[in-house]
Chains A and B, each alone.
Chain A
Amino acid sequence: MPFSLVLGPFGLLFGVIATEAGLDLAQVMGFSVLVIAGAAQITAISLMNEHAPVLVVLATSLAVNLRMGIYSAALVPHFGGLPLWKRAVAAYWLFDQPFALTSVDVTKNPQRSRDERFGFYLGVGVPLSILWYIVTYLGATLGDLIPGDIGIDFAIPATFLALIAPLLRSLPHLAAALTSVVGTLAFSSLPFNSGLLVAAFLALFVGAELEKRLPKKSPQAAKDV
């Protein structure tokens, strides 16, 4: 499962980045245990580095996580009939890998019962979340050893660019990414670091509009990060 292995270095990087930003171990672990969404966690740290207000940090980081709303909708046919508390528990592990692997399993093993499928989902999600905590912890420990003056903050854009680069073969994704960059730079004087949020919403529209207008082709679009 090479796809799941991405989680290792990503969690390590989060631990390093958060520690270098000045968070203590409990705070770093608090992020990985309670939020359990790497891109949003790193987004939060990068905005905290700029002393953005709590509301702006929340709105921007949650925008990164909105894709999980799609995952939630996509699992309704499989888990919708489970008791509420099981659905509430399932929601905690709804990050990229358990969702993707469960979706693949649905096509591979369509005969599974609802409870078996729930078991499969947790069987993927729980070990991966434990791996996530462990690599975060290792990253935080590593972050203490790394000197503060080597420009470790570059790991943030490096991680994000690596996450989105594979999507840029699709024209709507490329256009949305460019809108995001140009917009953020153009609106950088807006108060409270809100320029990024404005640019992001513009980019969402550009992506969706282009996708609607272009002849259908990009299968890549479905496999977002």
Chain B
Amino acid sequence: MFESAYVWSIILLLGLGTWLVRFSFLGLIGDRELPSYVKRMLNYTAVAVLPGISAPMVINSGSGSVEPLRLIAAAAILIIGVWTQSMMKSIGAGLLIYFGINAFI
């Protein structure tokens, strides 16, 4: 459980910040071009942040111990995702492997 003020300040500020990012060029900056290097960097925001968030949760399962099933399911998601280029297939397979096998152990 979290303190209500902690949660709501994150919701409100993240909402405002996200809207500002979306509004930025449309509303305030207008027609000015982004430097091409910045544009190039922005193409990598997803692969720069999301794998870093994922890694500790795959390697430690909350309790701090390694859970081999997480590693196997994560590998399956990556391999199937690269191979089929389908988010639905890869996450479907990964969740099925993890929660399916977990249900039997």
Contacts and interface: CB of A to CB of B under 8 A. Distances in A.
B94 A63 contact: no
B104 interface: no
Interface string B4-32: 10111111111101110111111101110
B44 A70 contact: no
Contacts of B78: 161, 165, 168
A151 B74 CA distance: 14
Interface residues of B, number: 73
A190 to B, nearest CB: 12
B44 A154 contact: no
Interface in A60-99: 60-73, 75-76, 79-80, 84, 87-88, 90-92, 94
Contacts of A211: 40, 43
B60 to A, nearest CB: 10
A157 B74 contact: yes
Given A64-B46, A72-B22, A165-B82, A200 B52 contact: yes
Interface string B47-59: 1111111111111
B10 A48 contact: yes
A135 interface: no
Report whether over half of chain A's contact residues are helix, strand or loop; otherwise say mixed.
helix
Contact of A177 (B19, B47, B98): B47
Contact of B10 (A57, A183, A204): A57
A46 B57 contact: yes
Contacts of B33: 73
B44 A207 contact: yes
A31 interface: yes
B25 A73 contact: yes
Contacts of A165: 77-78, 80-82, 87, 90
A70 B49 contact: no
B7 A208 contact: no
A115 interface: no
Identify the interface centre among A57, A177, A178: most chain B CB within 10 Å of its CB. Answer: A177
A205 B102 CA distance: 39
Given A180-B55, A184-B52, 17 more contacts: A6-B88, A46-B57, A62-B18, A62-B21, A75-B26, A88-B23, A94-B22, A154-B61, A156-B57, A157-B58, A165-B81, A166-B82, A172-B44, A185-B56, A200-B48, A203-B48, A204-B41
Interface of A: 5-6, 9, 21-23, 27, 30-31, 34-37, 39-41, 43-44, 46-48, 54, 57-58, 60-73, 75-76, 79-80, 84, 87-88, 90-92, 94, 150-151, 153-169, 172-174, 176-181, 183-185, 188, 196, 199-201, 203-205, 207-208, 211-212, 221-222, 224-225
